[in-house]
A and B are shown apart, each in its own frame.
Chain A
């Protein structure tokens, strides 16, 4: 069962399954390392919950909800 990356909570880990975006935004997320098959985890959440800092391919990248809710992930224990 997949969920949205935006639903991932601090300390949780997941694998990216799909990026439901098109064009330049999709390309951008790929260039930042959000590629299907990649493991991501939540490092910090800003006080209002947006943006959120993710650890992805050994680098910290912050995403806004607009993007993170378009990324489908599968939880890993």
Chain B
């Protein structure tokens, strides 16, 4: 489908580094809207991102630094998103960063009282990166409602570390830091449970993936792109066909870049 232009692209396109220096490891906070991502961001960085339903809704990406065991990390607070597959416009910043920002660790922040709903996005993230962990936040609210969560079973079923937090009080934050450190430094290597595609779809994906990777060297999430093409996503298809995919991705990543605090 995009064999024609491949040669040119190989000459013209170099994967632009998204963050100026990747000597600093990057950690992303992803999750459904209003699950406490910015509150966790503030806890880890000591900064004061706006939080709360109003006017705290995060609309652009915020960045801050934090230090763990003498190592500096760059933390990215993303706007809330329900999905990486069917995105509304205000979710695109988060989607693009999760897919193409190649973070060293992705913290999937969930609302303990709506776990089933939150796991939809969790599975989509687990599909594209192994370096992730589940942070079940608002654990105080869930306890108040009498909701009990079996952490060991979840860890076993999902294949990634699970941590309970109350970002307001700070409960669980130290454990979260430890796990972030271990994953970003490849000390822990999570083995997330993957969704198996139907055989006929998997075969198509397997054909498309190498073509995408050849046309756009160094691209991340080629399986996701293949699936978008198979689903008929017009934007992605146009970007692949005219060779602008990397430009589109990098532009998206730049647009999402809020003030560096």
Q: Quick one: closest A residue to B88, CB to CB?
A: A28
Q: Which residues of A contact B233 (CB under 8 A)?
A: 24
How big is the A interface, by class? 10 to 19
Instruction: Tell which of B82, B88, B113, B232 has the most Cβ of chain A within 10 Å.
Output: B82
A57 to B88, CA, bound (A): 19
Say whether B241 faces chain A, with CB atoms less than 8 Å apart.
no
CB–CB B85/A58 < 8 A? no
Report the minimum CB–CB distance from B159 to chain A (whole Å): 22
Within 8 A of B (CB), among A29-43: 30-33
CB–CB A23/B232 < 8 A? yes
A32 to B32, CA, bound (A): 10
A33 to B116, CA, bound (A): 9
CB–CB A28/B117 < 8 A? no
CB–CB B86/A58 < 8 A? no
Q: Quick one: closest B residue to A58, CB to CB?
A: B114
Q: Which residues of B contact A33 (CB under 8 A)?
A: 117, 120
Q: Which residues of A contact B86 (CB under 8 A)?
A: 24-25, 27-28, 30-31
Say whether B83 faces chain A, with CB atoms less than 8 Å apart.
yes
Classify the secondary structure of A's interface with B.
helix
Report the minimum CB–CB distance from A63 to chain B (whole Å): 13
Contact for B83 among A23, A25, A28, CB less than 8 A: A28
Within 8 A of B (CB), among A1-58: 23-25, 27-28, 30-33, 57-58
Say whether A59 faces chain B, with CB atoms less than 8 Å apart.
yes
A59 to B116, CA, bound (A): 11
CB–CB B85/A31 < 8 A? yes
Q: Which residues of A contact B88 (CB under 8 A)?
A: 28
If A23-B232, A31-B120 touch, whether A57 touches B82 (CB-CB below 8 Å) is no
Report the minimum CB–CB distance from A60 to chain B (whole Å): 10
CB–CB B114/A59 < 8 A? yes
A31 to B114, CA, bound (A): 14
CB–CB B114/A32 < 8 A? no
Chain B interface residues toward A at CB < 8 A: 32, 82-83, 85-86, 88, 111, 113-114, 116-117, 120, 231-233
Chain A interface residues toward B at CB < 8 A: 23-25, 27-28, 30-33, 57-59
Query: What are 30 A-B residue pairs whose CB atoms fall within 8 Å in the complex?
Result: A23-B231, A23-B232, A24-B86, A24-B231, A24-B233, A27-B83, A27-B85, A27-B86, A27-B231, A28-B83, A28-B86, A28-B88, A30-B86, A31-B82, A31-B83, A31-B85, A31-B86, A31-B120, A33-B117, A33-B120, A57-B114, A57-B117, A58-B111, A58-B113, A58-B114, A58-B116, A58-B117, A59-B32, A59-B114, A59-B117
